[in-house]
Chains A and B, each alone.
Chain A
Amino acid sequence: MKRKVHLFDVVNALLLSGVVVATLYPFVYMAAVSLSASDYVIRNEVTIGPKGSISTCTTWF
């Protein structure tokens, strides 16, 4: 049986996406900050992706 997509389905999907974001964001944020170059961290510019990360990554090895 095929059903129409109701407004509720959209709202529900959004709410659950909110749950996913709330669960995962702390980890993503930590990864982004720890991989970013210091200047960006100090200026609070890191939100999701790492910034200026190449320099710190290459110094691992």
Chain B
Amino acid sequence: MIKQVMRDKYFLLLLAPVLIYYVIFKYVPMFGIVISFKNYNLFKGIWDSEWVGLKYYIQFFTNPDAFELIRNTFLLGAYKLLFGFPAPIILALLLNEVRWSIYKRFVQTVSYLPHFISVVVVAGMLTLFLSPTIGFINDVIKAFGFQPINFLMEAGWFRTIYVASGIWQEAGWGSIIYLAALTTVDPQLYEAAEIDGAGRWKRMLHVTLPGIAPAMVILLVLNAGQILEIGFEKVFLLYNPATYETADVISTYVYRTGIVKGNFSYGTAVDLFMGVISFIFVFSANYASRRLGETSLW
């Protein structure tokens, strides 16, 4: 053992900063979770704050908002999966049928672009475009003689806006993996299908789709595992008290109660509860995708 360490000493030296980073910023916080079982106080510190057992967990479950928060987190993720998952597949299938390669590359390049735009810019654009007074979407609605809709102030619209803007931003980027899978499809299969008299629709159904099916299954499983991992930033930037009933999710609630109001112990308890459920989801999804024999996160 010591011999191996000596042999690899330079490698360990190179790895040291990474390991220190993971210990301090990933593993120390994991032990910091104990504050959810204590009455944590900034001045007393973690060790001297008194234990309170499950007090904060009980407080969360007896909170009338708890159900709504869990439901919102779950539904937002579920709609994102339901509509966001097929979008890159459809785009990849359409792109695959383009024969003029310059046009294909142009569409690809353009469709990847929104992936690199910051959440703040996307949220800012949505706020302005959807505004009932200055937004061009409402200008169109008004032009047809309808009443303008105050999209961002109506709870009923939040999920649609969240999911649709997510598709706008990520469908192109998500199609890369399917296009990569399609390059591995044997061109002879297409020729054989053509000789058999298969039309384009048939070829797509019997050659192209089976070609990307493994990638689809894996991504479906992995995305399903991440259903509860709702990005904090976009919800935070788009929601407001008027839309809390559909928009408020666990992470934004943790931010408001924990960081803003300073209820560190309570916020940590809520976060841990969701973290554990999310862990079970991601873990089972990875286990499933391993069993399917292809790939997994580890």
Name A residues whose Cβ lies closer than 8 Å to a Cβ of B: 3, 6, 8-9, 12-13, 15-16, 19-20, 22-24, 26, 29-30, 44
In angstroms, Cα B111 to Cα A15, docked, is 13
Known: A19-B91, A26-B125. 5 other contacts (CB 8 A): A13-B103, A16-B95, A16-B107, A20-B110, A23-B113
A52 to chain B, nearest CB (A): 18
**What chain A residues lie within 8 Å of B103 (beta carbons)?**
13, 16
In angstroms, Cα B99 to Cα A3, docked, is 10
Select one of B94, B114, B125, B200 contacting A16, CB under 8 A: B94
Select one of B94, B106, B125 contacting A12, CB under 8 A: B94
In angstroms, Cα B106 to Cα A29, docked, is 20
B98 at the interface (CB under 8 A from A): yes
A1 to chain B, nearest CB (A): 10
Residue among A13, A16, A22 with max Cβ neighbours from chain B (10 Å)? A16
Is B136 touching A20 in the complex (CB atoms < 8 A)? Answer: no
B50 at the interface (CB under 8 A from A): no
A45 to chain B, nearest CB (A): 10
In angstroms, Cα B97 to Cα A16, docked, is 11
Known contacts A23-B172, A24-B110; is-contact A16 B98 (Cβ 8 Å): yes
B74 at the interface (CB under 8 A from A): no
B174 to chain A, nearest CB (A): 13
B154 at the interface (CB under 8 A from A): no
Counting contact residues on chain B (CB < 8 A from A), the size range is 20 to 34
B144 to chain A, nearest CB (A): 14
Select one of B98, B111, B172 contacting A13, CB under 8 A: B98
A7 to chain B, nearest CB (A): 10
Residues of B78-109 contacting chain A, CB below 8 A: 91, 94-95, 97-99, 103, 106-107
Select one of B97, B125, B168 contacting A22, CB under 8 A: B168
Listed from nearest, the 10 A-B pairs whose CB atoms lie closest are A16-B107, A20-B110, A23-B110, A44-B139, A12-B97, A26-B125, A12-B94, A20-B107, A19-B111, A23-B111
In angstroms, Cα B168 to Cα A19, docked, is 9
**What chain B residues lie within 8 Å of A15 (beta carbons)?**
94
**What chain A residues lie within 8 Å of B157 (beta carbons)?**
none
Select one of A8, A19, A26 contacting B97, CB under 8 A: A8
B87 to chain A, nearest CB (A): 10
Is B98 touching A12 in the complex (CB atoms < 8 A)? Answer: yes
**What chain B residues lie within 8 Å of A8 (beta carbons)?**
97, 200
In angstroms, Cα B125 to Cα A29, docked, is 11
B129 at the interface (CB under 8 A from A): yes
**What chain B residues lie within 8 Å of A24 (beta carbons)?**
110, 113
Is A20 touching B111 in the complex (CB atoms < 8 A)? Answer: yes
In angstroms, Cα B104 to Cα A12, docked, is 11
**What chain A residues lie within 8 Å of B107 (beta carbons)?**
16, 19-20
* B223-258 contact mask (Cβ, 8 Å, vs A): 1 or 0: 000000000000000000000000000000000000
- Name the CB-closest residue of B to A24: B110
Residues of B173-200 contacting chain A, CB below 8 A: 200
